[in-house]
Amino acid sequence: MLVRESRAVLATGLVAGLALTASVASCAAPQNDAKQTVLQIGAIPDQNPEKLNRLYGALSEELSDQLDVSVRYSPVSNYAAAVSAFRTGSLDLVWFGGLTGVQARLQTPGARVLAQRDIDAEFTSVFVANGASGLRPFTSADQLVELKGRRLAFGSESSTSGRLMPQYFMGEKGVKPEDLAGGGPGFSGSHDATIAVVQSGAYEVGALNEQVWRSNVADGRVDPDKVSVIWRTPPYVDYHWVVRPGLDDRFGEGFTNKLQSALLELSAETENGEAILELFGAERFIPAKDEDYVMIESVGRQLGKIR
């Protein structure tokens, strides 16, 4: 018993000593208060982490070279968290989806849209169906009523292409979420997961981003016997860069405009630019305005995702 006690005393001493050293070390270590001079960029999570890290690592480097400021990428893995982080100033420049971008701008007065990809001006979603569901490709939007009583999966709850717009187009034809089997749609959490749950047969129909669908088909990750496209939505605007107000005060006059040009000037001709654009799945970035997203805003309000 005595040995145990003395061991305990020894160990307590050790722990206390360690804690003391650590706290001294923590005081001595540099604090992360250089935030003001660092451009914080972020993105909504819709790709695999390896790709996101590579993509935004390269982009941070490129922007840092072009603009001569340090750039830091913070991964965020929740759509709502990305919006909030943008509003509270933790992120300065964020790659948003259509809906989240509008939410972010409405919550952050003065924030503006900088750019979008060439494909974002006319973005589409696809409805995919499991072969066993008996659903055949639709010839007109009116056939969306066939979705009534089916098990349907969306992606993430805040996704524009994986939820908002598909739900809007269904609503146009009178298909409400309550009409679906199970009293409402399921949310797979991501576009890739939507394909998986539809392909397996757990859900009969799913709606997702067409770009993701195409890349999955190209990579051979889709079994064409089991799942196929039944309908493509009309085009709408989607992903875009949104920037916080007040960057000019922090980084110098005209910084926001320089940032915009840096994004727009990314081209496939430079090595870094080619890699970045390839990871974004685009040819180039094009200018975009707040007004482009009025339609998304009204759809968002209609479906209750914007208050």
Partner 1 sequence: MALRIHLKPALPLIPLLPGVSLLGILLVLLRDGHGGGLPLLQQFAAAALQPSIDPAVLGSLLNGLQITLVIAVLSWSISSVLGVGLGVFSACTFWEILAGVRWPAVVLRRCLAPLRAVHELIWGLLLLQVFGLNGWVAVCAISIPYTVLMARVIADQVDCHVSPAIPVLKGAGATPWAVMLTGLAPPLVQPISDHIGHRLDCALRSAVILGVFGLGGLGTDLSLSLRSLQFQEMWSGLWLLAIAMVVLDHLLRRLRSWSRMLMLPVAIASPWVALAWGTHLDLQLALPVGKWFMVFGNLMGGSQGLSAALEISWPGVIGATVWITLIAGCVATGLPPLLMLVWPSRASLCLQGVVWGAFRLIPAPLTALLLLMLAKPSLALAGLALGLHHSGVMGRVLIDDIRSTGFRSAQTLKSCGASPRVCWLYGPLADVSRAYLTYAIYRLDVILRDTAIIGMVGGAGLGWQLMEALSSFHWWLVIWIVMMSAVLTLLGESLGERLQGIWNSRAMAL
Residues 94-113 that bind partner 1 (CB under 8 A): 103, 107
Rounded least distance, CB 139 to partner 1, Å: 27
Among 66, 113, 51, 39, which residue's Cα sits nearest to residue 276?
A: 51
Using CB under 8 A, which of the segments 136-144, 176-184, 228-236, 266-274 binds partner 1? 176-184
Pick from 105, 117, 150, 151: which binds partner 1 (CB under 8 A)?
A: 151
Contact 248, 254 (CB under 8 A): yes
15 binds partner 1, rule: CB under 8 A:
yes
What does the alpha-carbon distance between residue 299 and residue 178 come to, in Å, rounded to a whole number? 18
Pick from 123, 169, 203, 231: which binds partner 1 (CB under 8 A)?
A: 203
Among 272, 245, 234, 201, which residue's Cα sits nearest to residue 112?
A: 245
1 binds partner 1, rule: CB under 8 A:
no
Six token digits for residue 189: 């959490």
Strand order in the sheet with 152-154: 186-187, 152-154, 205-209, 125-130, 227-232
Element (H, E) at 263: helix 255-264
232 binds partner 1, rule: CB under 8 A:
no
Rounded least distance, CB 76 to partner 1, Å: 3
Nearest to partner 1 of 33, 291 (CB atom) = 33
Rounded least distance, CB 128 to partner 1, Å: 14
Q: Could you say which residues in the range 115-134 bind partner 1, by CB under 8 A?
A: 130, 132
Between the CA atoms of 254, 255, 259 and 261, what dihedral angle is there, to the nearest 10 degrees? 20
- Number of residues forming the site for partner 1 (CB under 8 A): 80
171 binds partner 1, rule: CB under 8 A:
no
Pick from 60, 64, 66, 90: which binds partner 1 (CB under 8 A)?
A: 90
Pick from 63, 71, 76, 126: which binds partner 1 (CB under 8 A)?
A: 76
Q: Could you say which residues in the range 266-305 bind partner 1, by CB under 8 A?
A: 304-305
What does the alpha-carbon distance between residue 241 and residue 96 come to, in Å, rounded to a whole number? 6
What is the chain's Cα-based Rg?
Answer: 24
19 binds partner 1, rule: CB under 8 A:
yes
Q: Could you say which residues in the range 177-196 bind partner 1, by CB under 8 A?
A: 182-190, 192-193, 196
Q: Give SS3 for 219.
A: coil
Pick from 56, 71, 79, 127: which binds partner 1 (CB under 8 A)?
A: 79
Six token digits for residue 65: 């070279």
Six token digits for residue 284: 């180039």
226 binds partner 1, rule: CB under 8 A:
yes
Q: Could you say which residues in the range 51-70 bind partner 1, by CB under 8 A?
A: 51-54
Pick from 37, 70, 200, 267: which binds partner 1 (CB under 8 A)?
A: 200
What are the angstrom distances between the C-alpha of 207 and each of 29, 79, 140, 149? 49, 18, 16, 16
What does the alpha-carbon distance between residue 137 and residue 135 come to, in Å, rounded to a whole number? 7
